[in-house]
């Protein structure tokens, strides 16, 4: 696999050295993100979080993201060199995770302290994504974007696959709670160091396209808002993409409940679930990248949504099987359902690039990110609320996932209608 990755990187033109650097960026950011994020819930539980506080692990970071994204997007558009924002946000994410690792030392305030600095790190990562995406077109020409993103995604997914496996194995072999908490602290510190290395790597990037900064003034903000409101392709994209994310975020906490409460999966098994899904994306990425080159990036995304529609079926089938078989059946079903998921990882950003106003690129991306954050904040809580409203038991879990399945099928249909509309307008 490494040989295949390296051969793909070497195939890029010599005039585009940024391709290999983006692959390194994928390794560092992918590892940093997955090492910490895959154990956010487990760390909170071991710090003493109750069910309500556990739901805040999703909710509060997204609320903080909403507070910083639009001001951050406007500030990014005002910079002569957007790379500075990328470096600043990577450093801020490292700081948030490092201070968050100190949560167990804050006595009775450990959960509160953890949620505060987890939210801070999340806001930094959200701003990093906006700045990174806005800076990317200044570095990579349009014709090479799919190939460069494919190479970066290969590396990102490979190390995203290894990280939860290693983390899960470590946690599964530690028997006492204090030891597991210490391991969680080590994961956070490791993520902080990787974010700092990512910032060091990003210093080497150079824009090949001149950026025209926008001053942060009230008239300029009004112009940015007006351009967004009158950008019909962006509005159509945002509406369909938001509905898809709503159906996606609905079950994020429910998956954790289903895996831990009803399937009795341990940390290593939870890691294998992530590894299986990521491995399937890695195996199929070349195929979907080729489909992007042949059919564009909009149509293949539909198959990613259809694949996600099968995930609720996977958990319902698994919890309906005998206890010993359930976890392994879920791992198999969940892995298969991720065959087309690489289209979401690879294509969503490229679909966004097609519709943003180049003059206010960072602002448009920040607004879209805010919409996704609202969904990410509300829908996991709404999913748990629906589950409890339907009984809060195994049958309630099954019925909730059945509803989510129907909603995702509708989301796939809406995205397909958008693709047909785009075809008809050409």
**CB count in 10 Å sphere of residue 312:** 26
Give the angle 184-189-192 at the CA atoms, nearest 5°.
Answer: 130
The DSSP line for 166-225 is HHHHHHHT--SHHHHHHHHHHHHHHHHHHHHHHHHHHTT---SS--------HHHHHHHH
Q: What is the pLDDT of residue 45?
A: 86
Domain chopping of the chain, boundaries: 9-424
* Residues 396 and 388 sit within 8 Å (Cβ to Cβ): yes
Is residue 224 very low, low, confident or very high in pLDDT (cuts 50, 70, 90)? confident
**CB count in 10 Å sphere of residue 180:** 20
Q: What is the pLDDT of residue 12?
A: 43
Q: Does the pLDDT value for residue 414 go beyond 90?
A: yes
Q: How far apart are CA 118 and CA 144, in angstroms?
A: 35
Q: Considering the chain, what percentage of its residues have pLDDT values greater than 90?
A: 39
* Residues 145 and 350 sit within 8 Å (Cβ to Cβ): yes
344-382: pLDDT as tens digits: 988 999 999 899 887 888 888 889 988 998 898 889 889
Residues 255-259: what's their mean pLDDT?
88
Region of residue 49 (left: phi > 0; alpha: psi -120 to 50; beta: else): beta
Q: Does the pLDDT value for residue 227 go beyond 90?
A: no
62-111: pLDDT as tens digits: 888 888 988 888 888 888 888 889 999 999 999 999 999 999 998 788 99
* Residues 367 and 228 sit within 8 Å (Cβ to Cβ): yes
Q: Of 50-64, 179-193, 271-285, 311-325, which gets the smallest average pLDDT?
A: 50-64
17-57: pLDDT as tens digits: 667 788 888 889 888 888 887 778 888 888 888 877 877 88
The DSSP line for 250-265 is TTHHHHHHIIIIIS--
SS3 content of the chain, % helix, strand, coil (to 5): 85, 0, 15
Q: What value does the mean pLDDT of the chain take?
A: 86
Stated pTM of the model = 0.80
Q: Does the pLDDT value for residue 6 go beyond 60?
A: no
Q: Does the pLDDT value for residue 212 go beyond 80?
A: no
CATH number (1.10.3720.10, 1.20.1250.20, 1.20.1050.10, 2.70.150.10) of 9-424 reads: 1.20.1250.20
Q: Does the pLDDT value for residue 271 go beyond 90?
A: no
Residue of 273, 285, 277 lying closest to 1 (CA atoms): 285
Q: Does the pLDDT value for residue 323 go beyond 80?
A: no
145-180: pLDDT as tens digits: 888 888 888 888 887 777 777 887 888 788 888 899
Q: Does the pLDDT value for residue 1 go beyond 50?
A: no
Best mean pLDDT range from 139-143, 328-332, 357-361, 379-383: 328-332
Q: What is the pLDDT of residue 393?
A: 92
């Amino acid at each position: 696999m490494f040989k295949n990755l390296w051969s793909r990187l070497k195939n890029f033109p010599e005039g585009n050295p940024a391709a290999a650097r983006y692959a390194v960026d994928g390794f560092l950011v992918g590892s940093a993100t997955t090492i910490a994020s895959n154990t956010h819930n487990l760390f909170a539980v071991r710090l003493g979080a109750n069910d309500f506080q556990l739901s805040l692990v999703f909710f509060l970071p997204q609320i903080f993201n909403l507070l910083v994204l639009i001001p951050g997007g406007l500030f990014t558009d005002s910079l002569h060199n957007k790379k500075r924002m990328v470096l600043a946000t990577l450093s801020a994410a490292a700081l948030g995770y490092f201070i968050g690792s100190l949560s167990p030392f804050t006595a009775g305030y450990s959960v509160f302290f953890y949620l505060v600095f987890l939210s801070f790190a999340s806001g930094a990562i959200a701003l990093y994504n906006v700045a990174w995406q806005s800076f990317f077109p200044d570095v990579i020409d349009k014709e090479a974007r799919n190939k460069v993103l494919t190479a970066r995604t290969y590396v990102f997914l490979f190390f995203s696959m290894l990280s939860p496996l290693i983390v899960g194995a470590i946690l599964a072999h530690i028997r006492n709670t204090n030891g597991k908490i210490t391991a969680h602290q080590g994961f956070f510190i490791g993520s902080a160091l990787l974010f700092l290395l990512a910032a060091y790597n990003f210093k080497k990037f150079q824009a090949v396209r001149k950026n025209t900064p926008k001053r942060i003034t009230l008239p300029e903000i009004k112009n940015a808002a007006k351009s967004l409101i009158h950008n019909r392709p962006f509005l159509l994209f945002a509406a369909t993409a938001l509905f898809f994310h709503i159906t996606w975020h609905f079950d994020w906490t429910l998956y954790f409940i289903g895996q831990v409460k009803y399937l009795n999966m341990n940390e290593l098994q939870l890691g294998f679930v992530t590894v299986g899904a990521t491995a399937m994306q890695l195996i199929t990425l070349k195929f979907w990248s080729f489909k992007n080159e042949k059919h564009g990036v909009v149509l293949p995304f539909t198959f990613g949504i259809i694949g996600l529609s099968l995930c609720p079926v996977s958990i319902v089938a698994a919890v309906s099987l005998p206890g010993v078989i359930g976890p392994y059946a879920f791992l198999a079903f969940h892995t298969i359902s991720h065959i087309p998921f690489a289209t979401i990882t690879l294509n969503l950003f490229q679909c966004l690039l097609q519709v943003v106003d180049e003059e206010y690129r960072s602002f448009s991306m920040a607004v879209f990110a805010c919409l996704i954050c609202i969904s990410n904040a509300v829908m996991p809580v709404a999913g748990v609320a629906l589950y409890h409203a339907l009984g809060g038991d195994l049958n309630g879990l099954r019925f909730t996932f059945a509803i989510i399945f129907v909603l995702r099928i509708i989301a796939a249909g809406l995205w397909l209608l958008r693709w047909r509309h785009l075809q008809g307008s050409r």
